[in-house]
Structure 1
Amino acid sequence: MSEHPVSTTVAPAPPGLPACALVDLDAIRDNVAALNARAGDAEVMAVVKADAYGHGLVPSALAALRGGATWLGVAQLPEALALRAAGVQAPVLSWLHVPGQDFAPALEQGIDLGISTAWALDQVLAAATTTGRTARVHLKVDTGLGRNGAWDADLELLLANLAAAQAAGSVEVVGLFSHFAYADAPQHPTVKAQQERFEGILEQAARAGIRPQVRHLANSAATLTNPSAHYDLVRPGVSVYGLSPVPDLGAPEDFGLREAMRLVARLSSVKDAPAGQGVSYGHVYTTPQATKLGLVPMGYSDGVPRHATNVGPVQVGRQRYAVAGRVCMDQFVLDLGPDTTAQPGDEVVLFGVGAAGEPTAQDWAAAIDTINYEIVTRVGARVPRIHLGGEQ
């Protein structure tokens, strides 16, 4: 586990906002530095897809680069183009595409492209002809996940076509990569099997004349738990933002990470309620005693899961509560108890820094039977991101 202490200092939310997501860019920087230390001789590609897991694409990418990342990874090409438009010049890989997409801007902007299908290679080659530029590509192979990636006869054909295109100067095969199915369970037999399959494909590629500059397989979980899978480049995603990809094996602070996002709101009202009062739609919660109800102006349109009804963990002051009653589109209720001193305007923490005693994205994930990735990425566009630290 980590030898580096993790800061537990948190910044309060600014007054006057119904809700906001406070994003600590220094935490992202420090998380990447911790991942970089674990990566050994491998470089770090910080994955900033999905608006940097909800944290804000460009500020998070810049923070990751300050932490020592030398590559950035995104799923979709518009994300990569947005990074270039913001002046980011680091190598960027985009790997999930659809037929008919215009690859010319990617080549013009020096963006690396993941290739896993014959149609994608054909269309990238057409863009190379149109632009007069050599396409930088990474071959995505399926080693057992059964998702994106080439295998079997498709792989054999792609290798032959890539070798021919590279010999003609149309493409440069920069990388070869794959993705684990069970990296969050390091002892699962598929982990070893996929790694062996990956190495077999590397040998197959070499026989076809393809010798990539970078081989990459490790996601966050493998970066933290499987040094043998680091190869030339690791691709951490959720751990960049301070969330543990292996919560059964350790909390963020156990790996030298800290959560970068605090999702906070302000109490809109606090009012008396009698015992036996049904709360919110369907009255699925009833007050067991005379109490005070606090209204929080966030709901499922802001990313608060509707199935967090009666279970979502929330903190007001130093007191922990669960959502009381049905989560609505714009609001939910807390049963604050009869003796609360909470007032309208008080800060409500939905999730934040676990080492500071706050509820976490992992706590929410456990409460509703999902993963912490989903909790942070589902925070809605109506919730402003306020970036702290870094070069802001």
Structure 2
Amino acid sequence: MRATKAIIHLDRLRGNIQAVREKIGPNPRICVPIKADAYGHGAVRIAVAAIQAGAGYLAVASTQEGIELRDAGIVAPILLLSQPLAEELPDIVRYRLTLMISDADFAAEAAAAADRAGDILSVHLKVDTGMGRMGCRPGDALVLARHIGSQISLKLTGTATHFAVADSAKPDDVLYTKEQIHCFQSVLEEFRDSGVNPGIVHAANSGAVVLHGDSFFDMVRPGLLLYGYPPVREAAELVPVEPVMELRTHIVFTKEVFKGESVSYGRTWQADRNTILGTLPVGYADGLPRSLSGRYSVAIGGKAYPLVGTICMDQCLVDLGPDTDLKRWDEVTVFGNGGSDAADVADILGTIPYEITCNIHKRVPRVYVT
């Protein structure tokens, strides 16, 4: 196996699912997002582990992601979160994916595809309460629900919305999320007053699971929490979770460099003393961002050592110090395992942990710890 590998702790995933269950109570279903290869963790293995841990639904972003799970033998409901092309509808019907509907025109196209297949397609209605991305206007939701109900080949099995700032504890953002919840509740009341069954009602992402207990409804869709990162650090203790992924590699070469010598592309680093450098077989093609060059330290034997020089496509360099006893083949933790984690990397780069784990390339082997 390659020296650089991603260790995926399925035991931690199960623990994180249990932590969410304890927060939301026994009744709401848990929908686990498996999109983007389960945020870089490996779609099929994460899906199986999540189902075994009690997840009732899975969610993907593309038709192909859903097909991958079906081809692996997964029979649990799979919700397609993003808008597909009309030409994908035959596969959506064939593989029994649950379609998210935002407008009547696409609902009609979906119904026609299901008609041609002689099948009934399960759909969830998406309401835009303030995210501004997908979904119908709240005032149009009842008409759309009735339109779906009029199609004999469609079955309305759920109603959903998505929050824009539920992961923020700022007063204005909390108020905005409360307004989204109230708007959504009004749509649901209108459905029920009109005799429309909304099916499984779901809205809560990770931030809402932590901060907005009135958003749980029939199902929650936490992503960040389940993969081990609190969406609101000030409230991390409310749902204690552990990072599921860690990235490890090994020192594969060492050499002495002398004061004044430069290394790597662009000569961005020069030694200020005689020292020993280690070469690590991990670079930006593996998902270690080039923009971390000169800004990050890895852990070896529980101690931090700085990366020096420009991170290359396949390799980078670490300063081991002038009097090191470290040697070739010693293991290195890039992130995880009690040291810096993907959230720390994200903080340096001004992004989110999702982007870090999603960018760990598939050429990096995944090793699953059960």
Instruction: Give the TM-score taking structure 2 as reference length.
Output: 0.93
Residue 85 of structure 2 is matched in structure 1 by: 99
Residue 311 of structure 1 is matched in structure 2 by: 295
Residue 381 of structure 1 is matched in structure 2 by: 362
- Counterpart residue identity of residue 363, structure 1: D
Residue 75 of structure 1 is matched in structure 2 by: 61
1:298-357 Cα offsets, whole Å, 9 max, x none, are 11111111111111231111111232121111111111111221111111111113xxx3
- Counterpart residue identity of residue 347, structure 1: E
Say which of 201, 212, 237 aligns to 1:226: 212
CA contact (8 A) 1:268 1:295 kept: yes
Measure the CA separation in 2 of the matches of 1:238 and 1:334: 30
Say which of 292, 302, 326 aligns to 2:276: 292
- Counterpart residue identity of residue 5, structure 2: C
Residues 212-291 of structure 1 aligned to structure 2 (within 5 Å): 212-250=198-236, 255-291=239-275
1:124-147 Cα offsets, whole Å, 9 max, x none, are 111111111111100111111111
Measure the CA separation in 2 of the matches of 1:136 and 1:215: 14
Structure 1 residue 59: Cα displacement: 0.6
Structure 1 residue 245: Cα displacement: 1.9
Instruction: Report SS of the residue matched to 1:102.
Output: helix
Measure the CA separation in 1 of the matches of 2:361 and 2:303: 26
Unmatched 5+ stretches in structure 2:
none
Structure 1 residue 249: Cα displacement: 3.2
Residues 105-124 of structure 1 aligned to structure 2 (within 5 Å): 105-124=91-110
Say which of 61, 67, 74 aligns to 1:88: 74
Instruction: Report SS of the residue matched to 2:86.
Output: coil
CA contact (8 A) 1:64 1:240 kept: no
1:188-219 Cα offsets, whole Å, 9 max, x none, are 22111111111122234345553212111101
Structure 1 residue 262: Cα displacement: 1.2
Measure the CA separation in 2 of the matches of 1:248 and 1:301: 33
Measure the CA separation in 1 of the matches of 2:55 and 2:210: 15
Instruction: State the superposition RMSD in angstroms.
Output: 1.8
Residue 3 of structure 2 is matched in structure 1 by: 18
Residue 57 of structure 1 is matched in structure 2 by: 43
User: Is residue 368 of structure 1 aligned with residue 349 of structure 2?
Assistant: yes
Measure the CA separation in 2 of the matches of 1:296 and 1:170: 56
CA contact (8 A) 1:267 1:346 kept: yes
CA contact (8 A) 2:307 2:318 kept: yes
- Counterpart residue identity of residue 93, structure 2: L
Measure the CA separation in 2 of the matches of 1:248 and 1:379: 27
Unmatched 5+ stretches in structure 1:
1-15
Residue 179 of structure 1 is matched in structure 2 by: 162
Structure 1 residue 122: Cα displacement: 2.0
Shift in alpha-carbon separation, 1:209–1:312, aligned structure 2, 3 A: farther
Residue 346 of structure 1 is matched in structure 2 by: 330
Measure the CA separation in 1 of the matches of 2:62 and 2:190: 28
Give 4+ residue runs of structure 1 displaced > 6 Å after superposition: none
- Counterpart residue identity of residue 351, structure 2: T
1:224-259 Cα offsets, whole Å, 9 max, x none, are 2221110110001122121222234327xx633111
Residues 313-328 of structure 1 aligned to structure 2 (within 5 Å): 313-328=297-312
Residue 210 of structure 1 is matched in structure 2 by: 196
Among all aligned residue pairs of Structure 1 and Structure 2, give the percentage whose two residues are the same amino acid: 36
Measure the CA separation in 1 of the matches of 2:279 and 2:31: 42
Say which of 9, 18, 23 aligns to 1:38: 23
- Counterpart residue identity of residue 375, structure 1: I
Say which of 168, 185, 193 aligns to 1:199: 185
Residue 13 of structure 1 is matched in structure 2 by: none
